[in-house]
C-alpha cells in the first residue's frame, strides 16, 4: 500500500520533474562552455582583419566552410562580387602649429590625395546648416571639419545605436556636402563613445553630382585640439596625405550552413552575422562575435542531435561593412524561399539584454510567451522596431519577421571600427550567454 502511494505521488510529481525541453537544453549547453569564444579566437587571432576583397576575407570564407563541414553540417558558399578598397598611407600634421601630428584614418571608400598630399586651411562646422551658412565663399579651397560628437547621454541610457545613426550622417555624406561648396577634403570627429586617441573608420559614399574629395576621421582628442585652436581665432593649416585605392571588384562569397527541418523543411529560420570586418582591428566585436554565435548555434544543435521542425539556415554574410553586397546577393538569390524568421546578430558581445523585432501587437505578445526560456540569460525582452539588422533588411522589408540581437551597447562604440576591436575586449562568459540567447531564439522559432 505504502509503496503504491509513493509511486502515485512520484507520478503526480513527474510533470515538474520532467526532462528539460530542447530550448532549455540548448541554453544550458551554450552557457556551460567556451566554444563560441574558441571559434572567435581562431577567426580574430589566426585570420585577423577581414576587409572585403582581402586575402584574409577569402581565408575566413574557406575556414568557416571547413568548420561547418568538420562539424557534419551541410554547407555551401554562394558567390558575391565585392568592392576592393585598400588603405594606404594616412598622415596629417598642423603646418601652422609646429607640424603637430594629427591622428587620423581614411574613411572606407575615400579617394586619395595626390601622393605628396595637400595643404589647406581648416574650417569647422557642427552641422550642415552651419556649412550652408558659410557658403561657397568661405568653404572653397578649405578642409571642412565636422565637429559632431556622439550624444553620450543617449549612449548611457542604452540608446547607443540611435546616437550612432545621428552622428554617422557626417561620416556617410559629409564629404560630398562639403565638396558641393568647393572644399578640398573633409574630416570628421571619430564617431566614438569613448577614446584613447583611437580612430574610428567606417563607410562613406560620394554623391556623383559633386567632385570626389578625400575623407578621413580624426580621433576625438585631435578634433578637440583643432577645435580649441580655431576657438582662439587662429588660422589652422593642415598637411594631409591619404593614399587609399579602389581596385576592381573581386569575387567573394556568403557562407550558408543548413540543418534541414523534419516537418516543414520549406520553412526557413535564418540566423546570420557578417564575416567581413574593417581593416584596422581584428573585428572581434564587429562582427566576429556575431559569426561565432551563428556558428556555435549550428554546431550546438547538431551536437545535441536535435532535429528542428523547420529548416535552420546559418548565414555568414560578406561585405556588410562597405557595400552590403552579401545581404543584397542573398536576397536576390533567395527572396523566393519561404523565410519565417530572419535573426541577425551584429551589435557586439556584451551581456545579452534581449532582441529587437519587427513583430508588434499580438504577434509580439505571443513571441514573449514562446521565448520565456531566454529569461535564463536575461534575453527575454523584445522591443518593436521596423529595422532589425543591415544584412537582413531586404528580407524584413519584404515582410519576413525580423529579430535583431541586442547585447548591452553602452561600450560598443568605444571600440567600433577602431584598431582596438580585438579579442581581449570579449568576455567568454558573456559571449556564451549571447550564444545561448541567439541559439535559444533560433530553436524556439524553428521548432515551436
Pairing of strands 90-94, 100-102: antiparallel
State which residue, 308 or 327, has the beta carbon closest to Zn ion: 327
Question: Which set of grid coordinates corresponds to residue 74?
Answer: 551541410
> To the nearest whole angstrom, how small is the minimum distance from the Cβ of residue 367 to Zn ion?
24
124 among known catalytic residues: no
Catalytic residue among 90, 267, 320, 430: 320
Are 409 and 161 spatial neighbours (Cβ–Cβ below 8 Å)? Answer: yes
Secondary structure letter of residue 243 according to DSSP: -
DSSP result, 141-170: TSEEEE-----HHHHHTT-HHHHHHHHHHH
Binding region for Zn ion (CB under 5 A): 286-287, 346
State which residue, 346 or 434, has the beta carbon closest to Zn ion: 346
> To the nearest whole angstrom, how small is the minimum distance from the Cβ of residue 144 to Zn ion?
27
Helix or strand run (H / E) with residue 405? strand 402-407
> To the nearest whole angstrom, how small is the minimum distance from the Cβ of residue 326 to Zn ion?
12
> To the nearest whole angstrom, how small is the minimum distance from the Cβ of residue 391 to Zn ion?
9
Radius of gyration from C-alpha coordinates of the chain: 24
Question: Distances from the Cα of 200 to the Cαs of 30, 189, 194, 425, in angstroms?
Answer: 32, 9, 11, 16
Could you give the strand order of the β-sheet that contains 352-357, starting from the edge strand earlier in sequence?
A: 74-86, 245-259, 310-317, 264-274, 338-344, 402-407, 352-357, 382-384
CA gap 307, 261 in Å, rounded: 7
> To the nearest whole angstrom, how small is the minimum distance from the Cβ of residue 290 to Zn ion?
7
Residue 436 exposed, middle or buried by CB count within 10 Å (0-12, 13-18, 19+) = buried
State which residue, 124 or 286, has the beta carbon closest to Zn ion: 286
Closest CA to 154 of 144, 143, 165: 165
> To the nearest whole angstrom, how small is the minimum distance from the Cβ of residue 407 to Zn ion?
13
State which residue, 117 or 327, has the beta carbon closest to Zn ion: 327
> To the nearest whole angstrom, how small is the minimum distance from the Cβ of residue 311 to Zn ion?
25
> To the nearest whole angstrom, how small is the minimum distance from the Cβ of residue 48 to Zn ion?
16
DSSP β-bridge partners for residue 20: none
CA gap 138, 135 in Å, rounded: 6
Pairing of strands 185-189, 215-218: parallel
> To the nearest whole angstrom, how small is the minimum distance from the Cβ of residue 419 to Zn ion?
16
Q: Is the torsion defined by CA of 414, 415, 416, 418 positive or negative?
A: positive
User: b/e for 274-306, b at 16 or more Cβ within 10 A?
Assistant: bbbbbbbbbbbbbbbbbbbbbbbbbbbbbeeeb
State which residue, 267 or 346, has the beta carbon closest to Zn ion: 346
State which residue, 345 or 442, has the beta carbon closest to Zn ion: 345
CA gap 441, 421 in Å, rounded: 27
Closest CA to 105 of 169, 45, 187: 187
Question: Which set of grid coordinates corresponds to residue 115?
Answer: 601622393
State which residue, 346 or 430, has the beta carbon closest to Zn ion: 346
CA gap 102, 197 in Å, rounded: 10
State which residue, 279 or 346, has the beta carbon closest to Zn ion: 346
State which residue, 216 or 291, has the beta carbon closest to Zn ion: 291
The shares of helix, strand and coil residues in the chain, as percent rounded to the nearest 5, are 40, 25, 35
Closest CA to 150 of 411, 419, 422: 411
Q: Which residues are catalytic?
A: 320
Amino acid at each position: 500500500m505504502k509503496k503504491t502511494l509513493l509511486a502515485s505521488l512520484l507520478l503526480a510529481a513527474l510533470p515538474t520533474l520532467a526532462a528539460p525541453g530542447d530550448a532549455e537544453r540548448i541554453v544550458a549547453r551554450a552557457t556551460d562552455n567556451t566554444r563560441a569564444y574558441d571559434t572567435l579566437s581562431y577567426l580574430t587571432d589566426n585570420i585577423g582583419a577581414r576587409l572585403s576583397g582581402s586575402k584574409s576575407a577569402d581565408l575566413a570564407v574557406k575556414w568557416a566552410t571547413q568548420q561547418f563541414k568538420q562539424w557534419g553540417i551541410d554547407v555551401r558558399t554562394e558567390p558575391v562580387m565585392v568592392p576592393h578598397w585598400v588603405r594606404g598611407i594616412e598622415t596629417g600634421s598642423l603646418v601652422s602649429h609646429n607640424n603637430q601630428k594629427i591622428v587620423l584614418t581614411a574613411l572606407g571608400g575615400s579617394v586619395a590625395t595626390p601622393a605628396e598630399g595637400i595643404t589647406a586651411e581648416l574650417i569647422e562646422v557642427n552641422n550642415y546648416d552651419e556649412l550652408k551658412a558659410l557658403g561657397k565663399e568661405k568653404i572653397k579651397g578649405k578642409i571642412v571639419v565636422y565637429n559632431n560628437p556622439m550624444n553620450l547621454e543617449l549612449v548611457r541610457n542604452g540608446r547607443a545605436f540611435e546616437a550612432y545613426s545621428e552622428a554617422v550622417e557626417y561620416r556617410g555624406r559629409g564629404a560630398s556636402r562639403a565638396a558641393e561648396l568647393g572644399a578640398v577634403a573633409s574630416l570628421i570627429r571619430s564617431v566614438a563613445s569613448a577614446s584613447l586617441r583611437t580612430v574610428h573608420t567606417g563607410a562613406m559614399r560620394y554623391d556623383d553630382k559633386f567632385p570626389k574629395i578625400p575623407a578621413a576621421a580624426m580621433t576625438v582628442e585631435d578634433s578637440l585640439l583643432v577645435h580649441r585652436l580655431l576657438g582662439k581665432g587662429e588660422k589652422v593649416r593642415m598637411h594631409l596625405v591619404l593614399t587609399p585605392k579602389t581596385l576592381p571588384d573581386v569575387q567573394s562569397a556568403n557562407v550558408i550552413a543548413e540543418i534541414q527541418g523534419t516537418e516543414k523543411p520549406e520553412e526557413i529560420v535564418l540566423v546570420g552575422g557578417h564575416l567581413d570586418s574593417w581593416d584596422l582591428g581584428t573585428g572581434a566585436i564587429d562582427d566576429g562575435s556575431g559569426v561565432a554565435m551563428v556558428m556555435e548555434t549550428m554546431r550546438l544543435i547538431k551536437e545535441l542531435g536535435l532535429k528542428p521542425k523547420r529548416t535552420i539556415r546559418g548565414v555568414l554574410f560578406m561585405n556588410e561593412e562597405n557595400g552590403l553586397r552579401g545581404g543584397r546577393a542573398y536576397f536576390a538569390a533567395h527572396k523566393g524561399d519561404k523565410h519565417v524568421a530572419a535573426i541577425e546578430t551584429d551589435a557586439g558581445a556584451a551581456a545579452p539584454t534581449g532582441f529587437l523585432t519587427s513583430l508588434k501587437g499580438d504577434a509580439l505578445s505571443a513571441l514573449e510567451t514562446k521565448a520565456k526560456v531566454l529569461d535564463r540569460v536575461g534575453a527575454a525582452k523584445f522591443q518593436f522596431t521596423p529595422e532589425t539588422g543591415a544584412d537582413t533588411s531586404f528580407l524584413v522589408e519584404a515582410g519576413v519577421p525580423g529579430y535583431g540581437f541586442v547585447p548591452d551597447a553602452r561600450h560598443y562604440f568605444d571600440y567600433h571600427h577602431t584598431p582596438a576591436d580585438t579579442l581581449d575586449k570579449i568576455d567568454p562568459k558573456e559571449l556564451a550567454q549571447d550564444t545561448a540567447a541567439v541559439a535559444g531564439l533560433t530553436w524556439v522559432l524553428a521548432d515551436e
